[in-house]
């Protein structure tokens, strides 16, 4: 597998509160973690970097090629819980970090399976030659309104409460994460990203860029396009081909 990643401050923010870590194992398995911090520039950055580091370190220390699917799921859930406990504790012990938190989306790819775990509104997509498929459901007020039929897809895209999330790492002493497994076809890619990308690019644009660009240029081009469309937030992209 090949991993390409890039993070950008965008055109409006004064600091980058996103964080990411990606890596590979000798047996060909690969992982990536993307976090989008909240709670003020400094606190958000602390939360995202701490969570990304804890989760990735947990995966590196825990993973074995002999692990079953259920073993990988337990590992990823435990990594999320470990990060949540640490970020929550830090926020309660330091007044300057009070209320901080972060989203997280993590992908673990082994053989033809992709394990996805997430909290918040950072997203994962599976992109094949035929289509782009969203693998995560935002934990947000707007997503809840959309599911309940209170607003339409068009209204959701520009809703004033679009950035209010209902779950985050570090917000409470415990956290509920969503988890799923998908089968990856040959020549497909897994994209994980923060909402700095998805708030400015629709799925068709993302699909077209990934299909038309060389693999090593896709992350760079996605970020350039998001900045061209406004760049109102930090933008982080990781692609696993």
Q: pLDDT exceeding 70 applies to what percent of the chain?
A: 100
Q: Which domains does the chain have, with CATH numbers?
A: 3-240 (3.60.40.10)
Say what the pLDDT of residue 149 is.
Answer: 81
The position carrying tokens 């926020």 is 91
Q: In the chain, which residues have pLDDT < 50? A: none
Say what the pLDDT of residue 49 is.
Answer: 98
Q: Which residues contact 48 (CB under 8 A, 6 or more apart)?
A: 17, 18, 19, 35, 36, 37, 102
As a whole number of Å, the CA-based R_g of the chain is: 17
Say what the pLDDT of residue 145 is.
Answer: 83
- Beta strand pairing call for 178-183 and 30-38: unpaired
Q: Quick check: helix, strand or coil at residue 90? A: helix
CA 240/CA 6 separation, integer angstroms: 12
Q: The tokens of 151 are what?
A: 């607003």
pTM of the model: 0.94
Say what the pLDDT of residue 158 is.
Answer: 75
Q: How far is CA 99 from CA 48, 92, 139, 195, in A?
A: 13, 8, 18, 20
Say what the pLDDT of residue 41 is.
Answer: 72
Q: How far is CA 124 from CA 45, 173, 206, in A?
A: 21, 25, 12
Say what the pLDDT of residue 162 is.
Answer: 76
Q: Which residues contact 80 (CB under 8 A, 6 or more apart)?
A: 55, 104, 106, 117, 119, 169, 175, 177
CA 169/CA 162 separation, integer angstroms: 18
104 touches 83 (CB < 8 A): yes
- Closest of 61, 176, 59 to residue 109, by C-alpha: 59
pLDDT in tens, 195-214: 999 999 999 999 999 999 99
CA 106/CA 83 separation, integer angstroms: 12
pLDDT in tens, 59-87: 999 999 999 999 999 999 999 999 999 99
Task: Compute the half-sphere exposure of residue 42: CA atoms within 13 Å on the CB side of its CA.
Answer: 6
């Amino acid at each position: 597998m090949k991993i390409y990643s890039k993070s950008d401050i965008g055109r409006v923010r004064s600091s980058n509160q996103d964080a990411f870590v990606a890596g590979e194992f000798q047996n060909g398995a690969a992982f990536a973690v993307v976090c989008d911090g909240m709670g003020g520039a400094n606190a958000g950055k602390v939360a995202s970097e701490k969570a990304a580091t804890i989760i990735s370190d947990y995966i590196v220390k825990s993973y074995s090629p002999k692990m079953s699917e259920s073993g990988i799921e337990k590992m990823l859930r435990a990594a999320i819980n470990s990060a949540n406990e640490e970020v929550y504790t830090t926020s309660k012990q330091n007044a300057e970090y009070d209320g901080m938190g972060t989203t997280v989306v993590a992908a673990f790819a082994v053989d033809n399976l992709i394990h996805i775990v997430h909290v918040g509104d950072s997203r994962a997509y599976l992109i094949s030659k035929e289509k782009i498929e969203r693998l995560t459901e935002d934990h947000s007020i707007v997503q809840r309104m959309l599911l309940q039929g209170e607003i339409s897809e068009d209204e959701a895209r520009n809703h004033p409460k679009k950035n209010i999330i209902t779950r985050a790492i570090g917000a409470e002493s415990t956290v509920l994460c969503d988890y799923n497994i998908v089968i990856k076809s040959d020549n497909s890619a897994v994209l994980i990203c923060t909402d700095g990308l998805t708030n400015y690019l629709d799925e068709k644009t993302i699909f077209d860029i990934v299909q038309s660009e060389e693999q090593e240029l896709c992350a760079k081009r996605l970020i350039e396009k998001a900045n061209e469309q406004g760049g109102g937030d930090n933008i982080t992209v990781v692609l696993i081909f």
